[in-house]
Structure 1
Amino acid sequence: MKGHAYSYVVLQYRHDVWTGEVMNLGILLCCPGERFLKLKSRRGRGRIAQAYPGIDARALTNTVKSLEHRFGKVEASWDMLSSAAKAGDVARGVLRADASSLQWAMDGSGLTGAAAETLDMLYDRFVGRYDDDPGRDAITDDQVFEKVKVKLEAAQLYKRFERHVVHSEFGDVAFEHAFKNGVWHCVQGISFDSANRERMLEKAQKVAGKMHSIAGAAGSMRPYFVTGKPRNPDLLPQYSKMQKLLKSSPLEPLVVDERDASVVVERIAEAAH
């Protein structure tokens, strides 16, 4: 991969220094090639307060925000930094290692073509991976499939659908909506309305992994994946990548966005005649 070298370090909160229990609060990423230095941290206090009842979550988040501003000032004075500056060194120069509840850990490095996007990815991986998105119900796979079902019912096709299970030496894979006419046409809704990139990737890999597991035992089968995009516009580039990942999986699945569900219905209608 071509790009600029970067380094990162994780900001952790230690609620009890004696037990060593920690919660990741943010990521500091340093990329000299892009003159980029930024700390991205939690915005909400919900998970912190839930994990540690009685904690002054407001004071903690305000402290972390003040750190963000301090690193912003360091970035603005970039000429004071070395061209080989490392995130861990810069971080510990601003917030020294001591017995306080805020600590730096898990230093890492890599190459990037876009430091801001890499920071978002690392934040999703180390900080926001298991966070809920407050006040928001994610669109489900079933809700995505409903877009197809309505069209199949209008075409008088859905009544011919049934459940189909593919057996292989690695396990069984069930398709809840399948139609057989010479071959099995298996339609699955896949929602990528997720809170972060890592969850989207995990879901796409899981589906692709199932296709790999049945590739040698599926017989005559054609998968159709109808995907639902995330409502967060920042995740749309990741959504496109996940569609490509699904398209590259075994059994040559047809992958379309839910807006193009009629394409799936047309293909199945052709097979039904």
Structure 2
Amino acid sequence: MRVPFEYAVIRLVPRVERGEQMNVGVILYCQGHDFLGARTHLDADRARALSPDVDLEAVAAVLRSWDRTCDGDGPARQMKRGERFRWLAAPRSTMIQAGPVHTGLTADPAAELDRLMDALVR
């Protein structure tokens, strides 16, 4: 049975003042399947094309923190999955941001997350 899900594209904005961005991941929340997950992929060459001095190690560390937050590590343990999704998807002016939240229907949120990664990031 297909149930609603929400997702947002995770973007790298290496120089916030310029507004240039590239997709580096997807975060997906499905309440009906009690699922929250993130998939990320950092293309170093594309990132350097936007900003030659971008700190790729720092970006990778932040992307790993999104995975840990989805998994409920650290302080996120106190939050429900939906709360974690809302916190990660909230607008912010940092190098790593979530785009607008979109919705869809799925029977398999993990497979949908992989499909969105292939379509929107890779």
Instruction: Give TM-score scaled by structure 1 length.
Output: 0.39
CA distance in 1, matches of 2:78, 2:5: 15
Structure 2: stretches of 5+ with no match in the other structure: none
CA distance in 2, matches of 1:32, 1:77: 17
Corresponding position: 1:110 with 2:110: no
Q: Give 1:55 shift.
A: 1.4
Query: Is contact 1:26-1:123 (8 Å) kept?
Result: yes
Show CA shifts across 1:71-103 (max 9, x none): 1117x969835xxx4xxx644424753322221
Query: Is contact 1:6-1:110 (8 Å) kept?
Result: yes
SS state at 2:57 partner: helix
CA RMSD of aligned residues (A): 2.6
CA distance in 2, matches of 1:92, 1:115: 17
Query: Is contact 1:45-1:58 (8 Å) kept?
Result: no
CA distance in 2, matches of 1:68, 1:35: 16
Moved segments of 4+, more than 6 Å: none
CA distance in 2, matches of 1:50, 1:16: 12
Number of residue equivalences: 120
1:25 is aligned to 24
Query: Is contact 1:36-1:115 (8 Å) kept?
Result: yes
CA distance in 2, matches of 1:32, 1:26: 20
Question: Percent identity, aligned pairs only?
Answer: 25
Instruction: Give TM-score scaled by structure 2 length.
Output: 0.81
Corresponding position: 1:69 with 2:32: no
CA distance in 1, matches of 2:70, 2:93: 21
For 1:228-243, list aligned pairs within 5 A.
none
Structure 1: stretches of 5+ with no match in the other structure: 129-273
1:34 is aligned to 33
SS state at 1:20 partner: coil
Corresponding position: 1:11 with 2:5: no
CA distance in 1, matches of 2:44, 2:86: 24
